[in-house]
């Protein structure tokens, strides 16, 4: 019995490994040659540091194989944060409308008067990326996040942006000196 389980696991691992090792041309044959297209975007350009930022997207893919929302954050003084991949749910692979969210840290006082730029792309299963959409953001405790224009986007949560905002000092292990 133990040998059958091990044999089954080996076959499964080989199958998954081979599927992920497909060449770009093989993925295009399987999933299609058309890249996703971001058709509409909206994000408030300013928020209070205690708010969670909502970034609204409408996108489509003629091949119906959208896989993930790829995001990066660039902060002045900290550089570019690691890439975030937010998986797109199965029902949204041809068209999607909704928002992704970027959370702020609980010790967010250091965000006041800070700016960042978020870049978002849609990746499909073949490996194509949409054209990038960029969103500037300023933090200030007096700001209020503006809602999207009415009737353009669904109020559907697409998932989080898996990026933790941090300073250069956080990366260096420094306890003080947040800017």
Residue 74 belongs to a domain with what CATH number?
2.60.40.10
Q: Is the pTM of this model over 0.85?
A: no
Helix, strand, coil distribution of the chain in percent, nearest 5:
20, 35, 45
- The answer to whether residue 177 is domain-embedded is no
39 and 13, same domain (yes or no)? no
- The answer to whether residue 115 is domain-embedded is yes
> Between 149 and 173, whose confidence is greater?
149
Dmax (CA) of the chain: 65
- The answer to whether residue 146 is domain-embedded is yes
18 and 101, same domain (yes or no)? no
What's the structural domain count of the chain?
2
- The answer to whether residue 176 is domain-embedded is no
Identify the CA nearest to 53 among candidates 152, 133, 165: 165
43 and 117, same domain (yes or no)? yes
124 and 41, same domain (yes or no)? yes
Report pLDDT digits (tens) over 30-75: 888 899 999 999 999 999 999 999 999 999 999 999 999 999 999 9
61 and 117, same domain (yes or no)? yes
In the three-class reduction of DSSP (H, G, I as helix; E, B as strand; rest coil), residue 11 is classed as helix
37 lies in which domain range?
Answer: 33-171
Query: Which residues, at least 6 apart from 72, have a Cβ–Cβ distance to it below 8 Å?
Result: 80, 81, 82, 83, 84, 118, 119, 163
45 and 82, same domain (yes or no)? yes
55 and 129, same domain (yes or no)? yes
- The answer to whether residue 179 is domain-embedded is no
- The answer to whether residue 102 is domain-embedded is yes
109 and 159, same domain (yes or no)? yes
89 and 106, same domain (yes or no)? yes
Distance CA 117, CA 144 (A): 18
Can you read off the two tokens belonging to residue 123?
């990746």
Identify the CA nearest to 80 among candidates 41, 44, 116: 116
Q: What is the DSSP letter of 125?
A: T
107 and 132, same domain (yes or no)? yes
24 and 53, same domain (yes or no)? no
Position 11 pLDDT exceeds 60: no
Within 10 Å of residue 73's Cβ, how many Cβ atoms? 23
Q: Residue 166: what are its φ and ψ, rounded to 5°? A: -155, 165
- The answer to whether residue 79 is domain-embedded is yes
Phi-psi region of 86 (alpha: psi -120 to 50; beta: other; left: phi over 0): beta
- The answer to whether residue 163 is domain-embedded is yes
4 and 69, same domain (yes or no)? no
> Between 137 and 15, whose confidence is greater?
137
CA distances from 133 to 29, 66, 114, 148, 164 (A): 27, 16, 21, 16, 20
Q: For position 3, what pLDDT does the model report?
A: 59
In the predicted model, what is the mean pLDDT of residues 156-177? 71
């Amino acid at each position: 019995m133990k040998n059958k389980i091990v044999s089954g696991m080996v076959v499964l691992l080989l199958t998954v490994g081979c599927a992920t090792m497909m060449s770009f041309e093989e993925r295009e044959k399987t999933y299609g040659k058309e890249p996703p297209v971001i058709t509409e975007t909206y994000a408030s350009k300013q928020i209070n540091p205690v708010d969670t930022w909502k970034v609204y997207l409408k996108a489509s893919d003629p091949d119906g194989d959208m896989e993930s929302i790829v995001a990066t954050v660039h902060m002045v003084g900290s550089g570019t944060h690691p890439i975030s991949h937010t998986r797109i749910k199965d029902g949204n692979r041809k068209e999607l409308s909704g928002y992704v969210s970027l959370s702020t840290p609980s010790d967010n006082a250091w965000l006041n008067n800070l700016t960042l730029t978020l870049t978002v792309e849609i990746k499909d299963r073949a490996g194509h990326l949409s054209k990038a959409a960029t969103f500037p953001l300023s933090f200030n405790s007096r700001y209020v996040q503006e809602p999207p224009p009415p009737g353009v986007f669904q109020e559907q949560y697409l998932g989080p942006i898996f990026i933790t905002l941090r300073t250069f000092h956080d990366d260096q292990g420094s306890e003080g000196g947040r800017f």
